[in-house]
A and B are shown apart, each in its own frame.
Chain A
């Protein structure tokens, strides 16, 4: 089984609606990263969470870390077509520079 599970695998929402993507780790997290990827492009860094209960926002995207559940959620408010893409969570399991373990991603489509 995967160390990092993302849900849902894909999501289609109407423009203007809110949505949430979840990322759950089977191991204790040291850091949790959210990236966005468009087809044929690299990963664009969104946010990094490290402390339990931490919450960060950037424009209409908010991410939270639940240390007890080893889970992070990414919430998009009033979705727009520009939010469409693949959202990936990446986990760091050690302090210091460490390779990230990624989930399989959530493919988000926003329809007008």
Chain B
């Protein structure tokens, strides 16, 4: 498909477990963003990649959260020692132009539930 894809669509885990969420951006898009959306709220920024490097990780809530994008395409968001408060929809977005404000296109999200 041509859009941003995310897997899994749903993830249920137990408190304390480790999870990985995957994002496949639109082909050729250099910028990739992770956001988190809690119920009744707008998406909140977590981390932004330009190519392979994290250009801004100021939104990561603590050191349990980490993200990588080793080849400048697919990205994985990793959460260690999950807590119930981590339950949310994790959204990924990508955009094409590195040096101009360009539209961010979003994936369908991964709904994470921590029991």
Question: Interface residues, chain A, CB within 8 Å of chain B?
Answer: 4, 30-31, 33, 35, 40-45, 48, 50, 88, 90, 92, 95-105
Chain B 78-115, CB-CB to A under 8 Å as 1, else 0, gives 00000000000001010101111111111111010000
Interchain CB contact under 8 A, B40 and A104 = yes
Min CB distance B19 to A, Å, is: 19
The 9 closest A-B CB pairs, nearest first, are A102-B42, A99-B45, A43-B106, A42-B106, A42-B108, A97-B31, A31-B101, A102-B43, A104-B42
Interchain CB contact under 8 A, A50 and B42 = no
Min CB distance B107 to A, Å, is: 5
Q: Which of B4, B43, B101, B111 contacts A96 (CB 8 A)?
A: B101
Interchain CB contact under 8 A, B106 and A35 = yes
Min CB distance A34 to B, Å, is: 11
Counting residue pairs across A and B whose Cβ atoms lie within 8 Å, the total is: 74
Interchain CB contact under 8 A, A96 and B105 = no
Q: Smallest CB-CB separation from A89: which chain B residue? A: B42
Interchain CB contact under 8 A, A48 and B103 = yes
If A30-B101, A95-B101 touch, whether A100 touches B45 (CB-CB below 8 Å) is yes
If A42-B91, A43-B91, A96-B99 touch, whether A101 touches B104 (CB-CB below 8 Å) is no
Q: Is B41 an interface residue (CB 8 A)?
A: yes
CA distance A31 to B97 in the complex (A): 15
